[in-house]
Chains A and B, each alone.
Chain A
Amino acid sequence: MDIAVCIKRVPLSPGRWTLTADGTEIDTSSSAMGWTLSPHEECATEAAVQLKETDGGTVTAFTLGTPESSEQIRELMAVGVDRGVLLETDGAEWDAQATAAALAEAIRADETDFSAVILGTESADVSGYQVGVRLAHALGWPIVTNVKGLSVSNGVARCERVVGSEREVYEVSLPAVIAVKDGVNIPRYPSVPGRIKARKKPIDTANPTRSDPRVEKVSLALPPQEAGTAEIIGNGPDAAPRVVEILKEIGVLA
């Protein structure tokens, strides 16, 4: 089966964030700044690749972002994504509705007839929880969110959610949108052959038009720094008694 995954390029979390002078963006000008995607999306990709490995088919990664977002597509190609579609923007903010609309249009227009869209339940930077739902609505497909377990057989996806200490199980006929959470699987890292293959895989580009934003970002504020303190408990074997004490305090040892 052919699966689409949707991902978003976000700054790699450094030890400490800084904002641009006008307070509207995360400052990404540092040369030490890296880029990544949400852990949920890494899991979404892994889920799609595992389904492909079991049942055959293809995985196509869609992203809406600047041309540099192709770096994240390339990373995913190194772990099994076959093709990429970059919906290129000039870096301006797209709200969830506009993003979902652009993705829906691209997925519908694509030459591949996808059986499922798998994405992360939320993005790592905005955490809006909206794009998946809005995309499903736009496509007219059902959606299951917060999925922590996933299997497919005979055109039906079995999705598990964790609610408190209980599990909810949904069965949904494909095509459907499935929004997964971190922990649904353990994503693989790239191998060298994966890296080499990734460099030869195709990325298509489209230029969607942004609809008028309905949600606008006014400003960002950094949360107060937690004043962490480190206790030096000793050096070498001298530290052992205190380690035992701490393990007892936190309930690891009786």
Chain B
Amino acid sequence: MSSLPSKAKCVVIGAGIVGNSMVYHLARLGWTDIVQIDKGPLPNPGGSTGHASNFIFLVDHNKEMAQLTLDSLRQYIELDTFFESGGIEVARTAERMQELNRRVTSGKSWGVDGMAILTPDEVKGMVPFIDESVILGGFYTKGVGVCDSLRAGTLMREKAIEMGALQSFANVEVKDLTVEDGHIKAVVTDQGTIEADYVVIATGCWSRQLAAMAGANIPLTPAVHQMKDIGPVAMFADAKGDLEYPIVRDMDTNMYERQHGTGLEIGSYAHRPILYDAEEIPSNAEAALSPTEFPFTPDDFADQDEHALELMPEIVGDEGAQEKYAINGLLSLTPDGMPILGETPEVKGLWSAAAVWVKEGPGVGRALAEWMVLGEPEIDLHASDIARFYPEQTTTKHIKDRANEGFNKTYGIVHPAEQWSSNRGVRKSPYYDREADLGAVFYETVLWERPFWYASNAGLVEKYGDAVMPRTAEWESRWWSPIINAEHLQMRETAGLVDLTAFALFDITGPGALATVQGVCMRQMDVAVGKVVYTPVLLPSGGWRSDLTVMRLGEDHFRVVTGGAHGMSDFKWFKDHAAEGATFTNLTDDISTLGVWGPNARAIVSAVTDADMSNEGFPFGTCREITIAGKSVLASRISYVGDLGWELYVSMADGPAVWDAIWAAGQEHGLIPVGIGVYGTTGRLEKAYRAYGPELEGDFNVIEAGMATKKVKDADFVGKESYLRHREEEPAATLCVLTVDDHTSSTGEKRYMMGGEPILTLEGESIVDPHGRISYVTSAGSAPSVGKHILMTYLPAEYSTPGTKLAVEYLGEQYPVTVTGSGALFDPNNERILS
């Protein structure tokens, strides 16, 4: 074997499924000087890939994960390393049957074919060794099967070598990663140092340890997944293949069972969470099996033995079917259950390809390689972006708390609005105590505690009666309150005070400030000082990178305000595209934000400040410093809820005095506290305001979102070329607002969609646009002022005409909907905002 080169364009650390996919796709996209190293031997270096169960189920409620999985499946099939067996998720409870129906709808939204809900007898027909009396039914997906991840990885690695793009070295251990001026410089190994422009960490369980060598943080933890193989199984004695029956997931017990030749593999996510640190993983030399195969702890599998016996008594109850192989296998868990992908915010050129399971490995390899080589991936990775984390989310405590809490939800019925219960109360706005006194129900966003609604407003539910659109079904009532809609209606009548402290805020200053914001933002940033501009931020392809507001506070001073959830990746995006002479200051932890909106907002704010708050004196889209209660406040006249009012930015320390003054002045004007339930859903939906993530993401462009400007500025900006081209094309789909015509289910109960459901033709067919994108509900929620439940979706031209009748599938039933257009159902002429 030749010795390590001293230089390379890119070093990929790790030769599991992820590292192997990375080197192949980097080579395919034209990089020619790639070095891959792994501390273990090939083809199985001893990481999680080596003991993976390798099966691939296709449906995930999360679009990004579903897309990565489907792309991976295509790649495994192309490499001839996939065997399709079909798979069945079985339900033991009525709640799970509902969840299986929900999984069908998610599958339809993301383009999964061959799905069916089965009766217990139909399950038995496909899996004869199951005891159908313990289940209520199943969810079958034809395309489920098993890949050979080691073989696929080997083939991809060999292809990259054949292309002359890759040198791959086994048994090379990384000792250090060196950084110079914030950029990765070299990989120091036990066999020499390799200087590199790019380094990819694709080392699974070990990733956090490696990143730390460069001063970066990949927040994941190794965790145990238990599995065992029993056999020989009498029924499989004549098995001709490895897998002749569909794989079964026993969802309610967090387990799976699959034939494995003449054996049966039983795996579990049901046991107590067992977490380790990377330092505790033995070396290849020290390990009894592979480093990531820890000794099986049978006590942790006690319930699982019983559950497997219940479901498959004929096989599992046979004393002759013995435990041939049983391990506590290590895999990676993250605080939010998503992978950790992208360039680390701490070190330029250092990329993370971590917390990736076999089912999404090749898809991640392709997407990340595209991101590195082309500047953006075809699959939008915003939910996996490593830059999403705030420092509070990368602590060992947070990682372990959330991994402990999340592990047993692997097959869980997780409500879209479900909240974490561990490690709460970490980030509190200065108004937290006041909100708690008002009975705030706190939800969490990037560890900020945010009031979602207030118990103090409970009386309003009676006041507004049926206008709050009460819900009876448990699923839609969970993590929801009619108080949200009551707060909405009261705000529209008088005024609401909203805590928006979770916003991310950063300043861009200096001689390069204007050039920076001009180069990143689609809209004209060279505006008068004191202007507030809401602007799209585009990817090179013209897809959405973000949407945010920019205030010009001085000739060389801009303040960006963006959503908390993706604020840190926006911050990185601006810094990555900074012009010479731009200085960045993150103000997120220094400045709090309050919103005051409603017909009485002007009267309330005017009562606490001497500033001219009149429409003429303080027009919409402007900002200025005012004084409230002796404190300096930056007021910005914008609105995301569709009413007159201001966002007020004030230092954390001065915030309480400002709240108190507004609160006191507001009493005679009917001011109420209003939660994020209104701000994030009801207020925005009836104004048809799009949100980054649901509506605005890389898959869609500005024209499709219906947000093109009349003119395009002269200055260059990221995505401009694409934007100009999109303006000349007919959009393949446009964002539409739909209302539900009849909410009544077959059992006579009113049901309310939550988002993510497929939009269908009246014949029940999926709607696919010319780019192959399927229409699904991007956002859903109440529009209390118009008495409707609103759905947003992208529709191709033939279906987007107002008045078009379509259907939405929700939990296995179809409901009639009508296209209303693409604009606001409430106050379409913005008379309120501009009043």
Contacts and interface: CB of A to CB of B under 8 A. Distances in A.
Interface residues of B, number: 33
6 contacts: A30-B286, A32-B287, A34-B294, A78-B298, A191-B320, A192-B308
A194 interface: yes
Interface in B259-302: 276, 280-288, 291, 294-296, 298-299, 301-302
A31 interface: yes
Q: When A and B form their complex, which 8 residue pairs have the shortest distance between CB atoms, in order from nearest?
A: A34-B295, A189-B322, A32-B282, A31-B280, A191-B319, A14-B288, A16-B285, A192-B316
B89 to A, nearest CB: 22
Interface in B319-368: 319-324
A78 B320 CA distance: 12
B742 interface: no
B317 interface: yes
Nearest to B224: A31
Contacts of B190: none
B294 A196 contact: no
B318 interface: yes
B321 A192 contact: yes
Interface string A214-236: 00000000000000001000000
A189 B324 contact: yes
Contact of A199 (B230, B287, B302): B302
Nearest to A18: B286
A14 B322 contact: no
Interface string A1-22: 0000000000011111010000
B280 A196 contact: no
B239 interface: no
Contacts of A196: 305-306, 309
A32 B302 contact: no
Given A31-B280, A78-B298, A191 B286 contact: no
A190 interface: yes
A75 interface: yes
Contact of B295 (A16, A35, A191, A193): A35
Given A191-B319, A192-B317, 20 more contacts: A12-B288, A15-B282, A15-B283, A15-B284, A18-B286, A31-B276, A32-B281, A32-B286, A32-B288, A34-B294, A35-B295, A74-B299, A75-B298, A78-B298, A189-B322, A189-B323, A191-B320, A192-B309, A196-B309, A199-B302
A67 B286 CA distance: 26
A123 B299 CA distance: 25
A188 B322 contact: yes
Interface string B76-114: 000000000000000000000000000000000000000
B298 A192 contact: no
Contacts of B299: 71, 74
A195 interface: yes
Of A18, A30, A35, A71, most buried by chain B (CB within 10 Å of CB) is A30
Nearest to A197: B319
Contact of A31 (B285, B294, B323): B294
A191 B285 contact: no
Contacts of A15: 282-288
B475 to A, nearest CB: 35
B308 A195 contact: no
A86 to B, nearest CB: 16
A14 B294 contact: no
B319 A193 contact: yes
